[in-house]
Amino acid sequence: MATATTSKTAAKATPAAAVTESAATLTVSSRPAYLVAGVDESTGEETWSNRFRYLPGHPRQVRFDAKAGQFNINGTVPLGNSLSFIPLAWRVFQDDILNMGRKLWAELFFADDKGAVCAVLFHGYSVENLYRLIEPLFYDDLTLADVTVKVTAEKKQTTKDGKTATYYIAQFSYEAADAAEVAARRDFARDFPIWRAETYTGAADIRIQHGYTVPTQDDPTSPAAAEPLALPQAA
């Protein structure tokens, strides 16, 4: 296989850089759907660049604040009380991560509207609600990667010792997704290791997973790699 963009091994060798190829080396059948066309100003040749921005093992952290019922980026940038995205990859697992003890977690990876690859975690009742979404998809011969998932914070209340406490859980729904957008994410998850270093312990009890890939020890995107990764480019 001649090009970096059509070989998983070669794609991993330069995971953080924009994939740029001469149009002469790519065919419609071999070109990954996440590439977008451009022009090399020095030569006038058509080139292809990665539309997604991703530092392998370090996706942008989107957090669900179950106390406030809000999503945010790294605890600082507010995103509102709902998210919509086409998942790149996901896993449901039990593990002791983030110094929170052993819990059942759902970790979903997606690209935001700017092409940045993100990861978001859920636990508790929110994981049960995700299962309720996965089941009807399964019987329709679909997965989360085939649809646009909407996550909405739903308000709940509980009373203990005469005191009422408010909290939020994530509710999940889905609708049809654009086929071209689905294909772009499918090809990207095929060619790049989708994972988050902070939540990987090697000791997880995996319930289900799709598209989730941790690099091997000799892979350049592994934590053991000698050279730091350059920041990625986006078209």
96 and 173 within one domain = yes
Residues 173 and 119 in one domain: yes
pLDDT in tens, 153-171: 999 998 888 888 899 999 9
Q: pTM of this prediction?
A: 0.80
In terms of domains, do 150 and 116 share one?
yes
SS3 state of residue 219: coil
User: Is 36 in the same domain as 133?
Assistant: no
Q: Which runs of E-coded beta strand occur in the chain? A: 35-39, 46-50, 60-65, 70-73, 77-80, 82-85, 87-96, 102-111, 117-123, 147-160, 163-176, 205-210
- Is the same domain home to 89 and 194? yes
Task: Tell me what percent of the residues of the chain surpass a pLDDT of 90.
Answer: 69
Range of the domain at 18: 4-50
Please, are residues 132 and 169 in contact by the beta-carbon 8 Å criterion? no
Position 149 in a domain: yes
At 84 the three-state DSSP class reads strand
pLDDT tens per residue, range 28-52: 558 899 999 999 888 989 999 999 9
d(CA 201, CA 195): 11
Report pLDDT digits (tens) over 82-108.
Answer: 999 999 999 999 999 998 989 999 999
Query: Does 184 map to a domain?
Result: yes
Residues 12 and 93 placed together within one structural domain of the fold: no
Does any domain span residue 233? no
- Lateral strand order in the sheet of 147-160: 82-85, 147-160, 163-176
Q: Are residues 129 and 168 in the same domain?
A: yes
- Specify whether the CB–CB gap between 230 and 119 falls below 8 A: no
Is residue 38 one of the residues assigned to a domain? yes
15 and 81, same domain (yes or no) = no
Model pLDDT, residue 22: 43
Q: What is the number of domains present in the chain?
A: 2
